[in-house]
Amino acid sequence: MKNEQEKQKILTIIRENSSGPSSLIQVLNAIQEEHGHIPKDVQQLVAEEMKIPFSRVFEVTSFYARFTTEPKGKYEISVCLGTACYVKGSQIILDELKRKLGIEENQTTPDGLFTLTSSRCIGACALAPAIVVNKDVHGMLTAEMLPEILGMYN
Amino acid sequence: MEHGCDRVYVCAGTGCTSGKSPEIIENFRQELNASGLSDVKVIMTGCFGLCSMGPIVITQPDDCFYSRVAPKDVAEIVREHIAGGKPVHRLLFKGSRGEAVSLFEADFYKKQERVVLARCGLINPEEIDDYIEHGGFAALEKALKAMSSEEVVSVIKDSGLRGRGGAGFPTGKKWEFTMNAPGSKKYVVCNADEGDPGAFMDRSVLEGDPLSVVEAMTIAGYAVGADEGYIYVRAEYPLAIHRLQVAMGQALERGFLGNNILNTGFDFNLSIRYGAGAFVCGEETALLNSIEGKKGTPRLRPPFPAVKGLFGCPTLINNVETYANICKIITSGADWFRSMGTPGSPGTKVFALGGNVNNIGLVEVPMGITLREIIYDIGGGIPDGRGFKAAQTGGPSGGCIPAEHINTPIDFESLKAIGSMMGSGGLIVMDDSKCMVGIAKFFMKFMVEESCGKCAPCRIGLVRMHEILERITGGEGEIGDLAELEELAEMVNELSFCALGQTAPNPVLTTFRYFKDEYLAHINDKKCPAGECSALLNYEVTDKCVGCTKCAKACPAAAISGKLKEKHSIDKGKCVKCGACMGACPVKSIVRR
């Protein structure tokens, strides 16, 4: 946390979403959504505030794929690796994005613009292969279409 | 009627939403207002099923079916059709003979039987009155006012309904166990952690008809004696979560949920919990741990959740599609339900049909239908004139079914007998360009990432299996690898703690059983017969090359060189084997060997 103001903001999120120890995942989901990541000092704050051992907060944060301890880029590109997309070549799309952005999966470009991830089925199988950039779905992709799509977010 | 159309239905399922249907809805509202036709209702619906033709727009009562509508087409539909009375022919969906047909006349729907999806596409999922108008809450009223809990449980038992989450356990038995379990506090849980890659049936039900699940869970609460329920849904399904919240809010307001439901004195409260990206949480005991705010690792069974489940109390846990069958069984009876499907697997099953098939989408068919009927009659066959190679059912726990078994009837036992399983309903069709060793590796990688780490056979065994598959597809396989792979598969299957690990070797075992020659070709000849494994492939320019330079421009790795109007060549050291050159060549001079 950078400052007191940010700490207060996170405390508010915790209080709004907490209803006992069983709501830990809801609280962490809310923090992930609004704060973008859940670093160690935030986990400690959650533990204190919810009266849960820090070890359990850490355990849950590290177990679920949605929670990250590092900040994500401005745009998260998520390549669908559901079976329908895979059969239609999503692995090629993912490999091409890795090469274009010069990063591996779950990494962020040095300028903080793009984070590259893969996701399980997003349910847009008719649009396979598909990627999601933040909340925009781009479907029926070929590797040649990627420069134009990336250009939309530059 | 003056303009033949007073209602416009626009699909707002995930597929069509990705195709900009919210913008289409907005455009309809604006255009209709601007044309003085604001009495025409624009209705946002759940998934119609035929996703590959989306976004879908239907007008009523004249029953016109527009497919692949773009936001810019809306003005024309409003001007020509709704105001002018002449449907826009170029946008209408065309049947097999090129004639315009209505939605349910399309071949896609002819062999379908819609029970679970009956209301999807017909009602606005965010409008409780629509739901009530289409028979909603009749089952709840009947159960609460005219039936005892035992009677409800016995109807479900008699119906022969089996769990639609994959394993096919008799639903009525689960209800009976939970009803008979001692304890004053009990829970009802809905498993909406739909994690199989390529499966989106439960999401479509929650998005298209969320109240059917809410109503069924309330009935379940009454039957087993629970006053509290949880719906555990993937956080990756924001639209489904939103629609559930709206549905629950409206049900609460109207007295169909909460305290003293329908003035019968029965209380039932429902909350949503969402997952945070862990496939294993689809396993019911792992899901219960996750609802309790813990990491999602499975628990030892017995005790089964019916005896000791959520917070240590007896818990009934069923999947979304299972619940979506309940209300209709209560109102129409067990005999009606048994009239569909097969004696051992009555009723229908929803499949998410995807992959190399023409009609991609959601289909609901009576059990016992053959794979061939689903793929060719409903799915419209394989695109690009290619041949059928395999169908994958059951996701990472299931198997690949080869052409020789394409006439297998789809029911729980038949699929098991050929090494696959029903699973939750993903059905991915693969054409003859797909490498089966590659598919096995794909699922194995998925399972390696999703293993929760609790037990060693799954945590370590799957990693070793993946390594062997990597070697084989990388051209470094040895003949001894096959025996080792089989031995590991058996061990993981027998020794894993939960069903996730026990079924994880299935994709390997079925591809092994039906496509052994492909494994052997990779190992002995260092060839990928399907031409997919890039390490075993080389791209070459043949003498057909006209020297147009298009391939060199398309190459992302600058691996192609050559002068204008002269034959080009590919530097194998630089080539990343992406195939872009092959697509770019206008004279098909580049081959893959």
pLDDT at res. B592: 84
Are both A89 and A147 inside the same structural domain?
A: yes
**Nearest CA to B423 among B195, B236, B231?**
B195
**Rounded Cα gap, residues B525 and A39, in angstroms:** 50
- The answer to whether B543 and B567 have CB atoms below 8 angstroms apart is yes
What is this model's ipTM? Answer: 0.92
Tell me, yes or no, whether B113 lies in a domain: no
Cβ neighbour number for residue B259 with a 10 Å cutoff: 12
Are both B518 and B551 inside the same structural domain?
A: no
- The one-letter amino acid at B141: E
What is the count of structural domains for chain A?
2
Mean pLDDT of B419-426: 88
Are both A94 and A136 inside the same structural domain?
A: yes
**Rounded Cα gap, residues B76 and A36, in angstroms:** 43
Q: Which helix (H) or strand (E) holds B331?
A: helix B320-332
For residue B201 the two structure tokens come to 């049936």
Query: How many angstroms separate the CA of residue A47 from the nearest CA in chain B?
Result: 13
Are both B373 and B452 inside the same structural domain?
A: no
Instruction: For chain B, give the mean pLDDT.
Output: 94
Contacts of B360 in chain A (CB under 8 A): 84, 125-126, 128
What is the count of structural domains for chain B?
5
pLDDT at B125 over 90: yes
Tell me, yes or no, whether A70 lies in a domain: no
How confident is the model over B168-209, as pLDDT tens digits?
A: 999 999 999 999 999 999 999 999 998 888 888 999 999 999
Cβ neighbour number for residue B238 with a 10 Å cutoff: 13
pLDDT at res. B577: 81
Q: Which of A16, A36, A63 is the last residue of a domain?
A: A63
The most confident of the ranges A28-42, B3-17, B574-588 is: A28-42
**Rounded Cα gap, residues B397 and B423, in angstroms:** 7
Tell me, yes or no, whether A68 lies in a domain: no
Contacts of A86 in chain B (CB under 8 A): 197, 442
pLDDT at B1 over 50: no
Are both A84 and A147 inside the same structural domain?
A: yes
Are both A81 and A147 inside the same structural domain?
A: yes
For residue B568 the two structure tokens come to 């080009």
**Rounded Cα gap, residues B339 and B317, in angstroms:** 26
Tell me, yes or no, whether B53 lies in a domain: yes
State the CATH number of the domain containing residue B32.
Answer: 3.40.30.10
Strands ordered across the beta sheet of B426-431: B361-366, B348-355, B426-431, B388-393, B399-402
Are both B182 and B75 inside the same structural domain?
A: no
Picking from A52, A125, A127, A149 by the largest number of B CB atoms within 10 A of its own CB, the best residue to mutate is A125
How confident is the model over B237-250, as pLDDT tens digits?
A: 888 999 999 999 99
Cβ neighbour number for residue B571 with a 10 Å cutoff: 12
Beta-carbon contacts of residue A65 (< 8 Å; ≥ 6 apart): B276, B277, B278
pLDDT at res. B593: 79
**Rounded Cα gap, residues B425 and B408, in angstroms:** 16
Which has the higher per-residue pLDDT, B238 or A50?
Answer: A50
Strands ordered across the beta sheet of B57-61: B41-45, B5-11, B57-61, B64-66
Are both A59 and A79 inside the same structural domain?
A: no
Tell me, yes or no, whether A110 lies in a domain: yes
Are both B285 and B317 inside the same structural domain?
A: yes
Structural domain including B479 reads: 436-525
pLDDT at res. B572: 86
Contacts of A26 in chain B (CB under 8 A): 273-274, 293
Beta carbons of B360 and A125 less than 8 Å apart: yes
For residue B565 the two structure tokens come to 């109007």
Are both B136 and B233 inside the same structural domain?
A: yes
Structural domain including A19 reads: 4-63
Tell me, yes or no, whether A40 lies in a domain: yes
For residue B288 the two structure tokens come to 């219960």
For residue B314, what are the CA distances in angstroms to B176, B189, B287, B405? 11, 11, 15, 41
Tell me, yes or no, whether B120 lies in a domain: no
CA B221-B227-B229 angle, 5° bins: 70
How confident is the model over B75-124, as pLDDT tens digits?
A: 999 999 999 999 999 999 998 888 999 988 899 999 999 999 999 989 99
Are both A102 and A34 inside the same structural domain?
A: no
Beta carbons of B51 and A56 less than 8 Å apart: no
The half-sphere exposure of B448 on its side-chain side, counting CA atoms within 13 A, is 17
pLDDT at res. B197: 81
Are both A147 and A90 inside the same structural domain?
A: yes
Are both A83 and A147 inside the same structural domain?
A: yes
Task: Give the residue from chain B lying closest to A138, CA to CA.
Answer: B18
**Nearest CA to B237 among B175, B194, B280?**
B194
Q: Which of B504, B525, B546 is the last residue of a domain?
A: B525
Query: How many angstroms separate the CA of residue A54 from the nearest CA in chain B?
Result: 13
**Nearest CA to B308 among B287, B290, B285, B286?**
B285
Are both A46 and A86 inside the same structural domain?
A: no
**Rounded Cα gap, residues A116 and A72, in angstroms:** 9
State the CATH number of the domain containing residue B312.
Answer: 3.40.50.11540
Instruction: For chain A, give the mean pLDDT.
Output: 93
Are both B243 and B302 inside the same structural domain?
A: yes
